């Protein structure tokens, strides 16, 4: 890691103990770090957000939203590991992105916090497809916020067998691919001349 290493914010779209995606995000973070990034790995359970409600926002934006906006503003990109719920991304992820996209404390654009930044995405599921469909939805949502999502992505199926612990992916080929997603994000930012 150097002083001008790309800075990436990483989280999984699951809150539960034993989450496969909370295990997998460590693998993705490791790949990005190996490629030279500085990665801030957070747990969304530490930023418990209400479901977006304009009345809550009008009454006073939750402090956790401000913290997440500051984190997003201080990083050059995102690493996300998403579960798949009924063929889509979980409400947790969408809700988190929606809150961050709201106007910032100084009246700036929340959407601007995402724009022209770079994202790498992976998914994990006990099923055979590994949550592949959620990646399509998440990719689209991130692109609509102005992020560049690298084309490399990995959906880890049979996650109960393959992800026995945090940061452990017991399939060398897929581990290499997940690391490749992190490396692609770093490469993209480095080529773009990011010097955070
Ligand atoms: C509401 C709901 C819908 C689900 N739909 C899917 C699905 O469409 N595809 C899939 O592969 N798994 C589906 N699952 C199973 C999840 O992949 C599984 O619960 C997984 O462990 C969630 O990710 P996590 O381990 O990171 O919490 C669903 C689970 C829930 C609770």
Dig out the tokens for 89 from the structure: 């991304």
- Measured in Å, residue 84 CA sits from the centre of ligand 1 at 5
- Measured in Å, residue 88 CA sits from the centre of ligand 1 at 10
- DSSP structure string for 150-169: EEEEEEE-SHHHH--BTTB-
Q: What confidence tens digit (pLDDT) does each residue in 141-184 have?
A: 999 999 999 999 999 999 999 999 999 999 999 999 999 999 99
- Taking the CA of residue 21 as reference, the ligand 1 atom at the shortest distance is 26
Q: What is d(CA 13, CA 45) in angstroms, rounded to the nearest whole number? A: 10
Residue 18 in domain: yes
Domain of residue 51, residue span: 7-191
Residue 158 in domain: yes
- Measured in Å, residue 123 CA sits from the centre of ligand 1 at 10
Q: Where are the beta strands (DSSP E) in the chain?
A: 7-12, 38-41, 77-82, 118-124, 148-156
- Which protein residue has the closest C-alpha to ligand 1 atom 3? 85
List all residues 6 or more positions away from 46 whose beta carbon is below 8 Å from its beta carbon: none
Residue 196 in domain: no
Q: What confidence tens digit (pLDDT) does each residue in 66-86 have?
A: 999 999 999 999 999 999 999
> Among residues of the chain, what percentage have pLDDT more than 70?
97
Where residue 81 sits, what CATH number does that domain have?
3.40.50.360
Measured torsion, CA atoms of residues 98, 102, 104, 109, in degrees rounded to the nearest 10: 110
- Measured in Å, residue 13 CA sits from the centre of ligand 1 at 11
The count of domains in the chain is: 1
Confidence label for 35 from pLDDT (cuts 50, 70 and 90): very high
Residue 1 in domain: no
Residue 2 in domain: no
């Amino acid at each position: 890691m150097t002083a001008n290493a790309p800075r990436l914010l990483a989280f999984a779209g699951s809150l539960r103990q034993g989450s496969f995606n909370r295990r997998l995000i460590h693998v993705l973070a490791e790949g990005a770090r190996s490629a030279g990034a500085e990665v801030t790995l957070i747990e969304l359970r530490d930023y418990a957000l209400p479901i977006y409600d304009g009345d809550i926002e009008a009454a006073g934006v939750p402090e956790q939203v401000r913290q997440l906006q500051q984190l997003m503003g201080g990083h050059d990109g995102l690493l996300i590991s998403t579960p798949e719920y009924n063929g889509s991304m979980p409400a947790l992820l969408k809700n988190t992105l929606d809150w961050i996209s709201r106007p910032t404390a100084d009246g700036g654009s929340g959407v601007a916090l995402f724009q022209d930044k770079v994202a790498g995405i992976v998914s994990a599921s006990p099923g055979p497809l590994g949550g592949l469909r959620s990646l399509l939805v998440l990719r689209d949502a991130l692109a609509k916020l102005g992020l560049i999502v690298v084309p490399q992505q990995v959906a880890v199926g049979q996650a109960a067998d393959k992800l026995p612990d945090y940061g452990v992916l017991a399939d060398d080929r897929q581990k290499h691919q997940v690391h490749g997603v992190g490396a692609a994000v770093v490469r993209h930012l480095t080529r773009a001349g990011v010097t955070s």
